[in-house]
């Protein structure tokens, strides 16, 4: 696991305490994370995380997005961390449901 910035480490630790989940760093860069659970379906997992999102991200809500992609090959729950101000300017933070990536 790569060394993550403290705000990302804190968010991931909080997330793991909140739900029985498995988190995969998509490319090992600490930007896109696929979140899964064997106990909770994707839509229900998103709803649960959305309900607690402010607690999960704390004072850094502008640095994260929680996404639920309903269909397609990469469907499911995703977390996007905005590591730089430039990346943060390209994306909308918060919780979002998407029909697909396309």
Is residue 7, in this structure, part of any structural domain at all? no
- CA–CA distance, 90 with 88 (Å, rounded to integer): 5
> Is residue 18 in a domain?
no
Residue at 93 is within a domain: yes
Q: What is the pTM of this model?
A: 0.91
Q: 81 in a domain, yes or no?
A: yes
Q: Which pLDDT band holds residue 90 (cuts at 50, 70, 90)? A: very high
Q: For position 42, what pLDDT does the model report?
A: 83
Query: Which domain does 54 fall in, by range?
Result: 24-98
Find how far residue 2's CA is from the centre of its chain: 17
Q: What is the DSSP string of the chain?
A: -PPPPHHHHHHHHHHHHHS--EEEESSSSSSEEEEE-SSS-HHHHHHHHHHTHHHHHGGGGGGEEEEEE-SSTT-EEEEEE--SHHHHHHS--EEEEES---
pLDDT, one tens digit per residue, over 32-83 is 999 999 888 888 999 999 999 999 999 999 999 999 999 988 999 999 999 9
Number of domains in the chain: 1
């Amino acid at each position: 696991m790569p060394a993550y910035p403290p705000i990302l480490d804190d968010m991931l630790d909080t997330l793991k305490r909140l739900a029985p989940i498995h988190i995969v760093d998509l490319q090992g860069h600490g930007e896109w994370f696929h979140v899964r659970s064997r106990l909770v379906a994707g839509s229900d997992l998103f709803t649960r995380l959305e309900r607690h999102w402010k607690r999960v991200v704390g004072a850094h809500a502008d640095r994260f997005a929680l996404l639920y992609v309903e269909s397609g090959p990469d469907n499911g729950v995703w977390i996007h961390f905005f590591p730089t101000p430039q990346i943060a300017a390209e994306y909308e933070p918060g919780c979002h449901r998407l029909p697909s990536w396309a």
